[in-house]
Amino acid sequence: MKRRVLLSIHPEHAEAILLGRKSYEFRKVLFKQDVAEVVIYATSPVCRVIGRFEVEEIYSASPAEVWEKAKHVAGVTQERFSVYFSGRKIAHAIKVSKPVRFIRPRLLSDYLESNTPPQSFCYL
């Protein structure tokens, strides 16, 4: 069974995803379970759950290979990408599909009883 996760994403990247300008969300650490949907928590200063998207695929390879595959729809510069994955042997690219912006941003407490945003992600 595929799961849902809540991802903490910087507001500028969350906006780019929801506007269709960023088709991959990059991660150093990946889920251990199959994930079908990502719920987007925009970090400070927004601090709200603002949308969701379906996971089309997850591509894991060397940072150079991931950049080659995603560079035209990465939503970030190569420099920023390289700094983020500096020293890493593996990079993960989550392909965004069917992004949806919530009409009203939601409180984190609507999703997590702890009301504490995850460092990276948590299963819902």
Cα–Cα distance between 27 and 53 in angstroms, integer?
16
> Does 45 fall in a domain?
yes
Question: Which residues, other chains included, contact 37 with Cβ-Cβ below 8 Å and sequence gap of 6+?
Answer: 2, 4, 5, 52, 53, 54, 55
> Does 88 fall in a domain?
no
pLDDT confidence of residue 119: 87
Side chain identity, residue 34: D
**Do you find a cis peptide bond into 63, omega within 30 degrees of 0?**
no
Question: Which residues, other chains included, contact 39 with Cβ-Cβ below 8 Å and sequence gap of 6+?
Answer: 4, 5, 6, 7, 49, 51, 52, 111, 124
> Does 114 fall in a domain?
yes
pLDDT confidence of residue 2: 83
What is the domain range of residue 26?
A: 3-57+95-123
Percent of the chain whose predicted confidence (pLDDT) is above 90: 93
Q: How many domains does the chain have?
A: 1
The domain spanning residue 40 has which CATH number?
2.30.130
> Does 68 fall in a domain?
no
* pLDDT band (50, 70, 90) for residue 113: very high
State pLDDT tens for residues 38-51.
Answer: 999 999 999 999 99
> Does 52 fall in a domain?
yes
